[in-house]
Chain A
């Protein structure tokens, strides 16, 4: 997938826009608290896009602003190339969304709840109720009262509600909440199948492992601002490198490397060293580490460049890293 970069934002919000979601300078304040701070977000069409951030970073607030659930204080935005909130009805016609915990009328069945939502959409929406319920595996419980549903079943019903509008864009806020491992696996498969059909899925989650498995691209939000966005592979490629060294004398090896350019951050472990290198460090640095140690008579058993996970990268770039430290 080719994900445009932030420099491409000058593009207009015409209906043929390549962006499923596009925001410029979007800001939302609650008193003195800036929940969404000058957000520039670009979500390409036809992909699974992760929207990540620590608790309180403003993820849900941004989604609420996008969907017209609350008003923005500044900035512009468009969904599927249609400006909102100016043409909110047109934009939301092909958008499905779950925001926070999906809640429904508990005294009605799942099907009846969907009938209420379908009535507010176009006429065809009613014909999609059965297929939507079947798709999320709720057909057999469709006539049970929602008050008897588990949290996971309500999540599925929420996804079914999203599908009523035959959406081109799905915005799912923490869709894995309340799901057991099997349910999470099924949800992941469903998201991937939706993307395979050409739909765009914007996924807000704090489950970084799930996002890494599901999404093609992510945006990281911290303190209301989008601080990184792009394809996961590209973002991780720019992350700091970590090299594990198995050697005969870790303490002496540390002293040798501390005197070199690699001495920025070295952790001593029982079987060797863990060396953290700045992002953008060339692969040749690993060979250089090996050379320095061998020349000093230290036996090197193993050199391994660790794959940076989304989680560790997330912690590097958000304020949460500082908290942990």
Chain B
């Protein structure tokens, strides 16, 4: 240890000046605190690797494999993109694991200063404990939000650009992205393609036979040929179209821009909630492992269990579950994830909750856990 004295002359500034310049007692964290907090979290390689793998790696690899498979054997493997892939990746992976990873990041941010012994050093600086706590929120969100956005952007890009551009089923070319009404209109405008090209399992049996003049002959059952009027033809085309629309929508629809925006905001909200609740819980408990386990239990067990079955005596408690509130905010065009969701016909139902109540529940969770974590950090012995 050398006794170098340069640069460390005895203090000449007064205490009052020193504090007034950096506003040390303020509860608002400064930019440097947030930046260094980001650095501290970013340097945790294992955690960052897990976040990248879940939010970016898994969807990217999944889509890459599908792109290659479709390029090699297009008849065996469908397009890499489209609505189905989009919804599966968003609801099956990004929603579920994204919450857990965000919660893990929150638990880490909320506990490492204590477990690593840095909290004491930070308190001794005289900086407001509340500011020390609040600095973690923008720092953590600065990591998790862009990462979720990056993964989601990749998913959206592939699902849009690698989606099928038309139906090419038994030689029938159908425009993509039609609504049910538009699809019916298209079928009535193109009865030959609709009746003869699309699968049909209706009571009229084999739908058509095209004679030499190009007229369509519908075979009722297998009893023979019959000439039909244009009106009947349109009606038959409509019948075929109505039967095919769900499959058309599911197989050949790519996510619309509004859906992608709503979905992106939804999973960002979910990740934000996971982070902030994890942060508050870990700060409250002063450790990381147990809060992470509790967050996983919340997401994997409690939320699905209490979101789908209404228990009369616990209905209000169920409505207080943040996972249920998030599920009610899920875009209606997506299938339900593990935590619930908008779902489609036939999907599991959710415990009913109004949008207002759902938003109130989410705000309460965000504010409540932040307040609890901050309170504990302010009162805790360092």
**Interface of A toward B, CB cutoff 8 Å:** 15, 64, 67-71, 80, 82, 88-97, 99-108, 112-113, 115-123, 126, 128, 130-132, 134-137, 156, 161, 163, 165-168, 183, 186-187, 189-190, 193, 197-199
Report yes or no: B124 in contact with A107, Cβ–Cβ below 8 A: no
Q: A80-B15, A89-B24, A94-B15 are in contact. Are A117 and B122 (CB under 8 A)?
A: yes
B102 in the interface (beta carbon within 8 A):
no
Question: Nearest-CB distance from A168 to chain B (Å)?
Answer: 5
Report yes or no: A99 in contact with B22, Cβ–Cβ below 8 A: no
B145 in the interface (beta carbon within 8 A):
no
Report yes or no: B10 in contact with A168, Cβ–Cβ below 8 A: yes
Q: A121-B22, A131-B6 are in contact. Are A105 and B40 (CB under 8 A)?
A: yes
Report yes or no: B125 in contact with A134, Cβ–Cβ below 8 A: no
| One of B27-35, B224-232, B302-310, B356-364 at the interface | B27-35
Partner pick for A186 among B1, B9, B25, B35, CB 8 A cutoff: B1
Partner pick for A89 among B7, B126, B132, CB 8 A cutoff: B126
Q: Report the bound CA distance from A166 to B125 in whole Å.
A: 11
Q: Report the bound CA distance from A170 to B1 in whole Å.
A: 18
Partner pick for A117 among B5, B117, B125, CB 8 A cutoff: B125
Residue of B nearest to A166 (CB): B11
| CB under 8 Å from chain A, chain B span 86-124 | 112, 116-118, 120-124
Q: A82-B15, A131-B6, A131-B7 are in contact. Are A120 and B127 (CB under 8 A)?
A: yes
Task: Encode B1-27 as 1/0 by CB contact (under 8 A) with A.
Answer: 111111111110111101101101100
Report yes or no: A122 in contact with B36, Cβ–Cβ below 8 A: no
Chain A residues positioned under 8 Å from B121 (CB to CB): 102, 104, 117, 161
Report yes or no: A120 in contact with B1, Cβ–Cβ below 8 A: no
Report yes or no: A197 in contact with B5, Cβ–Cβ below 8 A: yes
Report yes or no: B117 in contact with A120, Cβ–Cβ below 8 A: no
Report yes or no: B1 in contact with A69, Cβ–Cβ below 8 A: no
Q: Report the bound CA distance from A134 to B37 in whole Å.
A: 25
Report yes or no: A68 in contact with B123, Cβ–Cβ below 8 A: yes
Partner pick for A130 among B7, B30, B123, B127, CB 8 A cutoff: B7
Chain A residues positioned under 8 Å from B37 (CB to CB): 116
Question: Nearest-CB distance from B148 to chain A (Å)?
Answer: 24
Report yes or no: A64 in contact with B381, Cβ–Cβ below 8 A: yes
Q: A90-B126, A93-B126, A97-B124 are in contact. Are A168 and B11 (CB under 8 A)?
A: yes
Q: A165-B125, A167-B11 are in contact. Are A193 and B5 (CB under 8 A)?
A: yes
Chain B residues positioned under 8 Å from A15 (CB to CB): 14-16
Report yes or no: A134 in contact with B2, Cβ–Cβ below 8 A: yes
Report yes or no: B124 in contact with A99, Cβ–Cβ below 8 A: yes
Chain B residues positioned under 8 Å from A112 (CB to CB): 36, 39-40, 43
Report yes or no: A89 in contact with B25, Cβ–Cβ below 8 A: yes
Question: Nearest-CB distance from B140 to chain A (Å)?
Answer: 15
Q: List 23 A-B contacts (CB under 8 A).
A: A64-B382, A88-B25, A89-B126, A90-B126, A93-B126, A105-B112, A107-B43, A116-B40, A117-B121, A118-B32, A119-B33, A119-B36, A122-B19, A122-B21, A123-B21, A128-B8, A131-B7, A131-B8, A134-B6, A156-B1, A168-B11, A197-B5, A199-B10
B313 in the interface (beta carbon within 8 A):
no
Report yes or no: B124 in contact with A104, Cβ–Cβ below 8 A: no
Q: Report the bound CA distance from A136 to B1 in whole Å.
A: 5
Chain A residues positioned under 8 Å from B112 (CB to CB): 105
B75 in the interface (beta carbon within 8 A):
no
Chain A residues positioned under 8 Å from B382 (CB to CB): 64, 68-70
Partner pick for A122 among B2, B9, B22, B124, CB 8 A cutoff: B22
Chain B residues positioned under 8 Å from A199 (CB to CB): 10-11
Question: Nearest-CB distance from B292 to chain A (Å)?
Answer: 18
Report yes or no: B43 in contact with A163, Cβ–Cβ below 8 A: no
Q: Report the bound CA distance from A167 to B9 in whole Å.
A: 10
Chain A residues positioned under 8 Å from B123 (CB to CB): 67-69
Report yes or no: B4 in contact with A134, Cβ–Cβ below 8 A: yes
Q: Report the bound CA distance from A136 to B2 in whole Å.
A: 6
Report yes or no: A69 in contact with B381, Cβ–Cβ below 8 A: yes
Question: Nearest-CB distance from A147 to chain B (Å)?
Answer: 10
Q: A119-B36, A131-B4 are in contact. Are A67 and B124 (CB under 8 A)?
A: yes
Residue of A nearest to B115 (CB): A103
Chain B residues positioned under 8 Å from A163 (CB to CB): 8
Chain B residues positioned under 8 Å from A116 (CB to CB): 36-37, 39-40, 118, 122
Q: Report the bound CA distance from A33 to B118 in whole Å.
A: 27
Question: Nearest-CB distance from A138 to chain B (Å)?
Answer: 8
Question: Nearest-CB distance from A226 to chain B (Å)?
Answer: 22
Report yes or no: B5 in contact with A107, Cβ–Cβ below 8 A: no
Chain A residues positioned under 8 Å from B21 (CB to CB): 122-123
Chain A residues positioned under 8 Å from B11 (CB to CB): 94, 166-168, 199
Chain B residues positioned under 8 Å from A135 (CB to CB): 1-5, 8
Q: A90-B126, A103-B118, A119-B32 are in contact. Are A197 and B9 (CB under 8 A)?
A: yes
Closest 4 CB pairs between A and B? A103-B117, A131-B7, A92-B126, A186-B1
Chain A residues positioned under 8 Å from B15 (CB to CB): 15, 80, 82, 90-91, 93-94
Q: Report the bound CA distance from A322 to B240 in whole Å.
A: 102
Question: Nearest-CB distance from A190 to chain B (Å)?
Answer: 6
Report yes or no: B40 in contact with A93, Cβ–Cβ below 8 A: no
Report yes or no: B1 in contact with A183, Cβ–Cβ below 8 A: yes
Chain A residues positioned under 8 Å from B25 (CB to CB): 88-90
Question: Nearest-CB distance from B284 to chain A (Å)?
Answer: 18
Report yes or no: A190 in contact with B10, Cβ–Cβ below 8 A: no
Given A119-B30, A121-B24; 14 other pairs, CB 8 A cutoff: A70-B382, A71-B381, A82-B15, A89-B128, A93-B24, A94-B11, A100-B120, A105-B40, A112-B40, A123-B21, A135-B5, A166-B11, A168-B11, A186-B3
Question: Nearest-CB distance from B128 to chain A (Å)?
Answer: 7
